[in-house]
Amino acid sequence: MSGGAQGTGAIGASVAPARLKLCVVGAGAIGTALAVRLASGGHEVAVLARGARQTFIATHGLTLRDGDRDFAFRPALADLADLSPYDLVIVAVKAGALPARLAPAMRPDALLMPAINGLPWWYALGERAPLGDRPLAAVDPDGALLPLFAPQRLIGCVVYSRVTMLGSGHVIVSGRQELQLGAVGGAPPLATLATQFSDAGIAVRVEPDIRRAVWRKLIRNAATNVVTALTGATLEQLGHDAETIRLVTDIALEVSNLAARVGRAVDPEIDELLAVLRSAGPFATSMLQDVRHGREPELGAIAQAPLELAELVGQPMPTLRAVATLLRLHVRAR
């Protein structure tokens, strides 16, 4: 979408500007895919990256292959000290890497959209028992993130996308990118944002209960990511091994039971999950990609946070606990 306002209005109001001025924090696989696609849709996109990735982007820009289309984009590089120019800040880094300096650097009327896996750090905001605004130590160890943003400034985001970053920095999207958006609190302009993202080639579904959508995705993440990172297997390999299928199914059911225990019952959709595995091809999950490249996998949000919540409500999760423990030891040993 092109033309329209330059994004100087208050996006937290009932109508979002026709042309977003936004910053994507993190230029890994997901961040790159979102930034490039939104820029191709006519929005003004800056990227906040660090270290070698920042240097690479300054020199080479961002490149993306999405289906049969190739994109190249050289974004402006944002400064963490001042994010006031942006209507919307999309966070595409792991929960533990979210800088506390983000909040004071943003405009008070700007929105934050954490596009992260697992149980998000904002989950407890305005939530009823058992959390009740109590931070999850696995994703917010000092309780520093929870008070930074009022719920009405947050857009919950669940990402469904098979995205791979090659060693060259080139990003490849396999299949359809989809975001599920929902209000954490208040009434952000979700319908308008959904249209803007869709016009840029990113499928969007607005969820009436974003926390339920979080659990639906967490069932798949916990059941597959932890096992692939521990074993080195691709999704396709998981889906064609009978014993591994039993393990994946057990974890999916454990997470589903926990969701029901905290008032967000969801169907684990085991048959659909197994069908996805069998048709996924040699795709490496995000946690497996991390392990392969010597990075810390996202155990906190995908495994430790649900296990922490399970302890709080007295819900047994022996299979996920055992596999997560082995993966943690495996990573330390490497």
104 in Cβ contact with 93 (< 8 Å): no
Calculate the average pLDDT of the chain: 89
Q: Is the pLDDT of residue 324 over 90?
A: yes
Q: Model confidence over 235-258: pLDDT tens digits?
A: 999 999 999 999 999 999 999 999
Is 25 within a domain?
yes
Same domain for 163 and 224: no
**Global pTM value:** 0.89
Same domain for 111 and 237: no
Same domain for 139 and 55: yes
Is 1 within a domain?
no
Q: Quick one: DSSP state of residue 291?
A: H
Is 10 within a domain?
no
Same domain for 192 and 218: no
Same domain for 53 and 130: yes
CATH assignment of the domain containing 305: 1.10.1040.10
Helix (H) or strand (E) holding 195: helix 190-199
Same domain for 85 and 56: yes
Is 49 within a domain?
yes
- pLDDT value for 167: 78
Same domain for 177 and 34: yes
Same domain for 237 and 186: no
- pLDDT value for 17: 58
Same domain for 237 and 203: no
Same domain for 222 and 180: no
Overall size of the chain counted in residues:
334
Q: Which domain range does residue 27 map to? A: 21-208
Same domain for 95 and 186: yes
Which of 208, 230, 265 lies at the terminal end of a domain, its last residue? 208
Is 38 within a domain?
yes
Which of 208, 242, 273 lies at the terminal end of a domain, its last residue? 208
Is 2 within a domain?
no
CATH assignment of the domain containing 70: 3.40.50.720
Same domain for 194 and 45: yes
Q: How many domains does the chain have?
A: 2
Cα atoms in the 13 Å half-sphere on the side-chain side of 281: 5
- Using omega within 30 degrees of 0 as the cis cutoff, is the peptide bond preceding 130 cis? yes
> CB-based burial of residue 21 (10 Å sphere; 0-12 exposed, 13-18 middle, 19+ buried)?
buried
Is 6 within a domain?
no
Q: Model confidence over 119-169: pLDDT tens digits?
A: 999 998 888 777 877 889 999 988 888 888 888 999 999 999 888 888 788
**Mean pLDDT, residues 160-185:** 88
Q: Model confidence over 13-60: pLDDT tens digits?
A: 444 557 889 999 999 899 999 999 999 999 999 999 989 999 999 999
Angle between the 270-279 and 242-261 helix axes, to the nearest 10 degrees?
140
Which of 164, 186, 208 lies at the terminal end of a domain, its last residue? 208
